[in-house]
Amino acid sequence: MSKKSKKQRNLEQQVRQQRVRDEARARRRPSRDDLARMLLWKIITRADTNKLGRRQALDLVRDVLVDGLELQGFDVRESEEVFEELAHRYADGLFPFRPKRHLMPL
C-alpha cells in the first residue's frame, strides 16, 4: 500500500474536523474558547465583589494572565493592552456575546 499524498491526508483531515465540529454543534458542546471567553467575562464583571478594590482585583487577574502569556512568548505590553481593552469593554456588565443562532432550538 502506497503512502497517501499530503493533499489527500489534508482533505481527509478536513472531513474529520468538519465532522467533529458538526457533532459538537449538534450536541451544543462549548469549545475551549467559548469557556475561556465566558470565564474571563465573569472574572472581570465580578471583580468588584472581591475584598480588594475593583482595580486591585483586575490588576491581580491581569498580572496572572500576562505572566502566563509571557511564558508562551507573547509581548507583555501587548498582552496588558488586550486585557485592558477587554476589561473596559466588559466593565458595564452587559452580556457582550452574540447569540449562537446555530445552537438555538428550532
Continuous H helices in 28-53: 32-45
Whole-number pLDDT of residue 67: 94
Shared domain check, 35 and 19 = no
Whole-number pLDDT of residue 104: 73
pTM: 0.64
pLDDT digits (tens, 9 = 90+) for 20-45: 988 888 888 888 888 888 888 888 88
Shared domain check, 82 and 41 = yes
pLDDT digits (tens, 9 = 90+) for 43-102: 888 776 666 787 888 898 899 999 999 999 999 999 999 999 888 888 877 787 777 777
Residues 6 or more apart in contact with residue 89 via CB below 8 angstroms: 96
| Number of domains composing the chain | 2
Domain that holds residue 84: 31-95
